């Protein structure tokens, strides 16, 4: 990402008909007729009244590039930096989110002590300078305390936010390996066509996977850089050296990215098969005018502008989840949200890949989307598509700024109750033993729930549900309104204690146990609150 304004332009790409796209990555968009939403075509409105799901992925991106979210500025003390990150986690919990996607390798640098790359200058203002603590270790520990999944977010190939590399440390891989990097647009990038470059990025990323308890590896939409009009990538020599000539240049570039993603998946699975791998691509793969398999859109195509064959990654099972950035309104002519969600739902159909939707909360915060109810309606719309299992918001700052506006409406309509991260079936895991010895006592509106964790249980968290009685229907656990809390297990104690609100004496509860991949035990015996 560049500075915030340029980055938001990059993420906009498709704009309202007749509006200008600003920033270094401006791409012309052709006019297109309005696309009717599936509900409109079927003569019905999406169902927004059914019970909320107890299982739903809810996350926000915490961006470190140019200090968008964290740290808010370079040079914070260790204690200031820690306090600031904790405030983002507390915001996530306040809004009943269950995951954060935190950027820890923004520009071929690191938020942990890496043997492959220097400390990030976004921490201290000086690349290579120790910030006085291990940010990645701290972030993971604090996220897990709050029972938030921690998705570590990496930029695979970006080296610098400028064309100049003068600020890089002398032993930076881009400097000591001649020919590895080139300037393009206003920035500097590793050349993805060089096998040694791909290997370096893989090793740098895998070091954090191997040594830290992350829950997922996450990429966004930076592969080859977004194309600048009239300027081609300076990789002709790389193509001549490493290509056998069977693929045209653009196809070869796409293959380089796919090779990298396949190898990333394979190494994660070989090292820690419980760690998820997800990508958040630009929302349009191809338009149907370019490819019959494309979407009913007429905007910029990631297949062309960043050499990203995101549809193939899903069809070939190279990712565990896909999180397309569908950053546009319902009814927008060139890129209708109501056309893209069903298209992506169709893409994941018949695969093991989970689908989460990337939401442009920043457009609400900056006023590009003026209707504060737009985001909430997106989630209404998603309910008609069971393969959509959650949403991610860009970015934390906009989520905070819209807490009483657009995000507030999302909370009121969809997030008033907590939710458990959905299971990705092919990830495996182990169903924990059910909790036993349940008791519940209410005092001054707070119910203290206690139960025993099995001494050999794999449980990492526990969920507390309201039920109708001792003979409750297990289907009640699928209604999100019945989920009272989902909390991290105390690994040092057999006896667990959880305090919950919103339940009175005489009501019934059950407790379940969940492993780190969110496989859920049978419910405990129901207990009446005393």
pLDDT at 320: 98
Assess contact for 301 and 287: CB atoms under 8 A: yes
d(CA 185, CA 25): 8
pLDDT at 10: 41
pLDDT at 80: 98
CATH class of 430-528: mainly beta
Could you tell me the two tokens for 491? Answer: 């690994």
Question: Any idea which of 6-15, 58-67, 358-367 has the lowest mean pLDDT?
Answer: 6-15
Task: Assess whether pLDDT exceeds 60 at residue 25.
Answer: no
Which residues, 6 or more positions from 324, have their beta carbon under 8 angstroms from its beta carbon?
A: 280, 281, 282, 283, 310, 340, 344, 355, 357, 358
For the chain, the straight-line distance linking the first and the last C-alpha, in angstroms and rounded, comes to 54
Could you tell me the two tokens for 307? Answer: 């050499």
The burial class, CB within 10 Å (0-12 / 13-18 / 19+), for 184 is buried
DSSP at 415: I
Enumerate the domain spans of the chain. 4-426, 430-528
* pLDDT tens by residue, 139-187: 999 999 999 999 999 999 999 999 999 999 999 999 999 999 999 999 9
What number is the average pLDDT over the span 347-357? 98
Question: Any idea which of 22-26, 60-64, 323-327, 442-446 has the lowest mean pLDDT?
Answer: 22-26
Could you tell me the two tokens for 434? Answer: 């059910």
Task: Assess whether pLDDT exceeds 70 at residue 36.
Answer: no
State the pLDDT confidence band at 39, using cuts at 50, 70 and 90: very low
Average pLDDT, the chain: 91
Q: Check for a shared fold between 4-426 and 430-528.
A: no
Task: Assess whether pLDDT exceeds 70 at residue 19.
Answer: no
* Domain covering 4-426, topology: TIM Barrel (3.20.20)
pLDDT at 41: 34
pLDDT at 455: 86
Report the percentage of the chain scoring pLDDT > 90. 89
d(CA 450, CA 441): 9
pLDDT at 38: 37
What number is the average pLDDT over the span 92-103? 98
pLDDT at 47: 52
User: Please, what sign has the CA dihedral across residues 453, 457, 462, 468?
Assistant: negative
Beta strands at 158-160 and 483-488: parallel, antiparallel or unpaired = unpaired
State the pLDDT confidence band at 442, using cuts at 50, 70 and 90: very high
d(CA 249, CA 236): 8
Task: Assess whether pLDDT exceeds 50 at residue 21.
Answer: no
Question: Any idea which of 24-28, 213-217, 231-235 has the lowest mean pLDDT?
Answer: 24-28
């Amino acid at each position: 990402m560049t500075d915030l304004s340029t980055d938001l332009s990059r993420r906009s790409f498709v704009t309202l008909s007749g509006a200008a796209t600003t920033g270094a990555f401006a791409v012309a968009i052709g006019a297109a007729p309005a696309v009717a939403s599936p509900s409109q075509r079927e003569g019905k409105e999406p169902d927004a009244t059914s019970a909320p799901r107890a299982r739903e992925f809810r996350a926000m991106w915490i961006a470190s590039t140019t200090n968008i979210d964290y740290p808010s500025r370079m040079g914070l003390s260790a204690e200031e930096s820690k306090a600031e990150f904790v405030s983002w986690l507390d915001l996530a919990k306040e809004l009943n989110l269950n995951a954060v996607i935190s950027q820890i390798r923004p520009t071929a640098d690191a938020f942990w002590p890496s043997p492959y790359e220097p400390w990030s200058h976004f921490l201290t203002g000086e690349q290579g300078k120790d910030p006085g603590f291990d940010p990645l270790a701290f972030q993971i520990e604090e996220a897990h305390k709050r029972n938030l999944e921690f998705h570590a977010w990496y930029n695979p190939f970006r080296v610098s936010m400028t064309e100049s590399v003068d600020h890089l440390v002398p032993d930076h891989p881009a400097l000591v390996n001649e020919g590895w990097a080139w300037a393009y647009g206003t920035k500097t990038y590793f050349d993805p066509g060089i096998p040694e470059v791909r290997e370096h990025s893989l090793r740098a990323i895998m070091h954090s996977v191997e040594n830290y308890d992350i829950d997922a590896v996450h990429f966004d939409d930076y592969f080859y850089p977004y194309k600048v009009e009239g300027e081609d990538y300076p990789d002709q020599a790389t193509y001549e050296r490493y290509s056998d000539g069977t693929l045209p240049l653009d196809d070869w570039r796409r293959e380089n990215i796919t090779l990298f993603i396949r190898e990333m998946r394979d190494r994660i699975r070989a090292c820690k098969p419980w760690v998820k791998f997800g990508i958040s691509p630009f929302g349009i793969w191809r338009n149907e005018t370019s490819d019959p398999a494309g979407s009913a859109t007429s905007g910029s195509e990631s297949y062309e502008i960043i050499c990203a064959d995101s549809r193939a990654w899903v069809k070939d099972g190279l990712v565990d989840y896909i999180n397309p950035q569908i950053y546009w309104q319902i009814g927008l002519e060139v890129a209708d949200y109501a056309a893209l969600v069903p298209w992506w739902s169709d893409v994941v159909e018949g695969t093991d890949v989970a689908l989460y939707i990337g939401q442009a909360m920043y457009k609400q915060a900056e006023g590009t989307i003026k209707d504060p109810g737009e985001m909430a309606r997106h989630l209404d719309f998603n309910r008609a598509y069971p393969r959509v299992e959650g949403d991610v918001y860009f970015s934390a700052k906009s989520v905070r700024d819209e807490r009483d506006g657009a995000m507030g409406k999302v909370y009121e309509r969809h997030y008033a109750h907590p939710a458990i991260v959905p299971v990705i079936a092919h990830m495996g895991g182990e169903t924990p033993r059910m909790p036993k010895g349940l008791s519940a006592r209410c005092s001054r509106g707070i119910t203290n729930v206690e139960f025993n964790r099995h001494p050999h249980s794999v449980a990492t968290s526990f969920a507390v549900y309201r039920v109708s009685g001792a003979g409750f229907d297990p289907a009640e656990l699928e209604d999100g309104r019945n989920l009272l809390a989902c909390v991290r297990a105390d690994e040092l104690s057999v006896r667990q204690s959880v305090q919950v609100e919103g339940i009175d004496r005489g009501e019934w509860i059950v407790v379940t146990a969940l492993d780190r991949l969110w496989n859920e035990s049978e419910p405990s015996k129901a207990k009446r609150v005393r």
